[in-house]
Amino acid sequence: MHRVVITGIGAVTPLGPNAADSWRAMREGRAAIGPIISLPRESLRFGIAAEVRDFDPAAHFDDKRLPLLDRVSQFALVAAREAVAQSGIDFAADGLGENTAVVIGSGIGGEQTHDASFKRLYGENNPRLHPLTIVRLMANAPASHVAIEFGLHGPAFATVSACSSANHALAQAFHMVRSGVADAALAGGTEACITLGTVKAWEAMRVMADDTCRPFSRQRRGMVLGEGAGVIVLETLEHAQRRGATILAEFVGAGMSADAGDIVFPSEAGAAKAIERALKDGGLAPEDVDYVNAHGTATPANDPTETKAIRRAFGAHADRLAVSSTKSMHGHALGAAGAVELVAAIGALRDGVVPPTANFGDADPECDLDYVPNVAREMPVRAAISNSFAFGGLNAVVALRRAP
């Protein structure tokens, strides 16, 4: 078994066009939630989201490649390029690319293409769809394009498990590098879900907020959709040290579980199992962890359930944890959520700063942990976990430690 480290991270989020700007906004508690500008507001019930604005695909892709890429793949590629550039890794060296894995999660896939094709077919009664519709909308397209971009011939696939997709991708990539199945990996998640069909479908579930995202607060009114991508470079500690790479954090464990219960209502026991398994997999005692990046969707059911799960997994140490939900700033990016939130976990470990839960109002008696309300907190962070809990009862938690 190898020790696995993160040497690069890239992101495209509503908070910024890269990981550094996104992390800076999280530290400052700046929210990117506002009126949706990409859809007709008159068609929407609430009309708020966290959009990636001012993203110009032509600035990143030439005319020959762009027709192949849905927005979901564009985000993934831009994030992957940033991660690889930061890591300084050379996939051609020593044949590294022959056995580098690519695992990119997405809860929906190419929804922009899907929505446009349905509008054309049903709304405009036009039976002729774009010939590249399938290759643009398939959920594995981001992973495939990343592999093509860097010439990577190792295992490459997508994970599709709703809001846990990114953390499942990170977990699979980590386990492959740790076990030696892959020499290195690019892993993360991507989502471009702010389309008319998707937003209307979420509105129909009656879990959407009409003002902003207020996780764990008594005033919370529901979740807010977001979009974006996050990708990291994983490699063995030995390889990173041999090439003199800057190590951002050590990836030490991952835990996964299925509630095997309700298709939507979360389970305290199922979530706690995933946390406990991540700690065990990472060789961490509860007392070793200082920060929990919470799933924290701001829905009435999720926040109290996650609070109880954290208490069940950490016992008395739960009262000494700093817990925050950065969804209060960048919204819920569904299948990309865990990858975007890894920016926060890595930043906390590197800088000794825990990002806040923004928009926090009054404490909810059912949510009784330390949620770092509204203002970031400077504190040493030795180890951190990041939670993702998805519809379908699919849970995935990743554990990181400060760089060795």
The three-state (H, E, C) secondary structure of 280-291, written as one string: HHCCCCHHHCCE
End-to-end CA distance of the chain: 17
| Active-site pick, 145, 239, 330, 332 | 332
Other Cβ atoms within 10 Å of 45 Cβ, number: 12
Question: What gap in Å lies between CA 359 and CA 217, rounded to an integer?
Answer: 8
Task: Report the half-sphere exposure of 322 (CA within 13 A, side-chain side).
Answer: 26
Residue 43, classed as helix, strand or coil, is helix
153 in active site: no
Question: What gap in Å lies between CA 155 and CA 179, rounded to an integer?
Answer: 14
**Which residues are CB-contacts of 344 (< 8 A; sequence separation ≥ 6)?**
23, 26, 293, 324, 326, 355, 386
Q: Which two tokens stand for residue 223?
A: 């979740």
| Active-site pick, 114, 295, 330, 367 | 295
**Which residues are CB-contacts of 243 (< 8 A; sequence separation ≥ 6)?**
88, 89, 90
Other Cβ atoms within 10 Å of 186 Cβ, number: 33
- The answer to whether 111 and 138 are in contact (CB under 8 A) is no
Helix axes 337-351, 19-28, angle to 10 degrees: 70
| Active-site pick, 145, 163, 193, 239 | 163
295 in active site: yes
Q: Which two tokens stand for residue 82?
A: 């940033």
Residue 340, classed as helix, strand or coil, is helix
60 in active site: no
Tell me the DSSP string of 158-218. Answer: EE--GGGHHHHHHHHHHHHHHHTS-SEEEEEEEE---SHHHHHHHHHHT-B-SS---TTBT
Question: What gap in Å lies between CA 341 and CA 386, rounded to an integer?
Answer: 7
Query: Which are the catalytic amino acids?
Result: 163, 295, 332
